Amino acid sequence: MGQVIVVIGDRLGKGQKVAAGVEAAGGKAIVIPGVAADMKLGDVMNAEGATFGISFCGSGGAGAITAQNKYKYKAKHGMRSVDEGVTAINEGCTVLGFGFMDKEELGQKLVETYIKKNGQP
């Protein structure tokens, strides 16, 4: 059986806490290193065959919109809460754009929601 693969791109090069949550739920987290990592989200998701991706920046949109435009991933952006992310997963979104929210709970809940909805990949 496969694993839920989550790519994380943060404008400030962070994302380690949300990655820990992804892994706590049994997923595999790939944190893109460096500043402006959110803008590489779609490219890394495509290269890694990611299940879904998470973008963090001030507005919660730039990396998610770029990934959507380039690769036609279904995206939801401008989110500010775990519940909004859960709803986006349930709506079938594969790119989730948040304001800065590097929280373990976010990664864990998103992976748990994905597995509950879709099963293990």
Q: What average pLDDT does the segment 11-29 reach? A: 96
According to the model, what pLDDT value does residue 1 have? 62
According to the model, what pLDDT value does residue 60 have? 84
Neighbour-count burial of 24, counting CB atoms closer than 10 A to its CB (0-12 exposed, 13-18 middle, 19+ buried) = middle
Mind listing the pLDDT tens digit for each residue in 31-84? Answer: 999 999 999 999 999 999 999 999 999 888 899 999 999 999 999 999 999 999
Domains and CATH numbers, the chain: 5-106 (3.40.1400.10)
Closest to 29 (Cα-Cα) out of 39, 10, 75: 10
Give the three-state DSSP class for 61.
coil
Q: Using CA of residue 3, residue 93, residue 110, residue 86, what is the dihedral sign?
A: negative
Say what the pTM is. Answer: 0.96
Please state, for a pLDDT cut of 70, what percent of the chain lies above it: 99
- Mean pLDDT score of the chain, rounded to an integer? 95
Rounded (5°) CA angle 65-66-70: 115
E-strand ranges in 12-113 read: 28-31, 52-56, 75-79, 95-98
Say whether pLDDT at 100 is over 80: yes
